[in-house]
């Protein structure tokens, strides 16, 4: 029995005093794109609670939150053009496999103040990490073109890092808002929340929502995908008819 006492004491010290879990939600599970769609703002909120079976009935921070909002994955090609004998030509290109068409990072503080750069890279949180893991064989050219891709997507508000987006309303209750632009890509979206304490990741949770076209916009999108030949013929016919009608009207 005496031999077991040091072991029990060691286990008591090593065991966590409390364990936390995340409870999170998205304000809307579906965003509809119509002809008058001008963008949408969603609220992501949640609370830090004791884990199931934890000894304590309350949790104690301070905590930090990082939320990544990822849109549909797609292959992207970035090209660099420069004049060759007076003609602008594509001289470099890189293909990025399964790159997010939309990627926003929302945080309660600057990322470097929340956790280490190694942890950020391991979790692939920053847009640069997304570039690094989407290139089959990372090269200096690929990284450079990837950074240019991030810049172009940032200008369209498809990529962003906001270190003040997450606000704690109390010691455990937090909320954040994410903006979807008017040209947001339709498809499934994932909001992944990371909970940090003392620079360590202690919990994480995912919530999904969807962006989809409805009405006539959905009909056009499905027609272009399912019946591309017929869709092209109809578009050409409409263009010819519109040109002919415009000529008749202005002739009069």
| Together in a domain, 72 and 190 | yes
Number of domains in the chain: 2
∠ CA 30-36-41, rounded to 5°: 45
| Together in a domain, 230 and 118 | no
**How confident is the model over 111-134, as pLDDT tens digits?**
999 999 999 999 999 999 999 888
Mean pLDDT for 173-199 is: 94
| Together in a domain, 77 and 128 | yes
| Together in a domain, 81 and 160 | yes
- pTM, two decimals, is 0.76
- Residue 27 clears pLDDT 70, i.e. is over it: yes
Do the domain assignments include residue 24?
A: yes
Q: Check whether the bond before 46 is cis (ω within 30° of 0).
A: no
| Together in a domain, 141 and 187 | yes
The label of the residue with tokens 């940090």 reads 196
| Together in a domain, 157 and 126 | yes
Do the domain assignments include residue 52?
A: yes
In the predicted model, what is the mean pLDDT of the chain? 81
Do the domain assignments include residue 219?
A: yes
Q: Predicted confidence band at 14 (pLDDT cuts at 50, 70, 90)?
A: very low
**How confident is the model over 130-150, as pLDDT tens digits?**
998 888 776 777 788 888 899
List the CATH number of the domain containing 121: 2.60.40.3880
């Amino acid at each position: 029995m005496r031999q077991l006492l040091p072991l029990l004491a060691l286990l008591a010290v090593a065991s966590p005093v409390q364990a936390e879990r995340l409870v999170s939600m998205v304000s809307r599970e579906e965003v509809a794109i119509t002809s008058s769609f001008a963008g949408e703002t969603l609220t992501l909120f949640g609370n830090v609670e004791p884990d199931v079976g934890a000894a304590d009935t309350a949790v104690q921070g301070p905590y930090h939150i990082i939320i990544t909002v990822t849109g549909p994955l797609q292959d992207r090609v970035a090209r660099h053009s420069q004049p060759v004998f007076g003609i602008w030509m594509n001289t470099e290109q890189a293909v990025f496999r399964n790159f997010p068409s939309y990627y926003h990072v929302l945080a309660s503080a600057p990322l470097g103040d929340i956790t280490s750069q190694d942890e950020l890279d391991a979790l692939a949180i920053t847009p640069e990490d997304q570039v690094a893991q989407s290139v089959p064989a990372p090269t200096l050219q690929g990284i450079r073109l990837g950074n240019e891709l991030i810049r172009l997507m940032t200008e369209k508000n498809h990529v962003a890092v906001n270190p003040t987006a997450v606000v704690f309303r109390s010691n455990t209750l937090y909320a954040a808002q994410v903006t979807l632009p008017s040209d947001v890509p339709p498809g499934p979206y994932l909001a992944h929340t990371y909970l940090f304490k003392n620079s360590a990741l202690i919990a994480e949770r995912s919530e999904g929502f969807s962006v989809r076209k409805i009405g006539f916009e959905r009909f056009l999108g499905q027609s272009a995908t399912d019946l591309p030949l017929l869709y092209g013929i109809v578009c050409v016919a409409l263009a010819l008819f519109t040109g002919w009608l415009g000529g008749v009207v202005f002739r009069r």
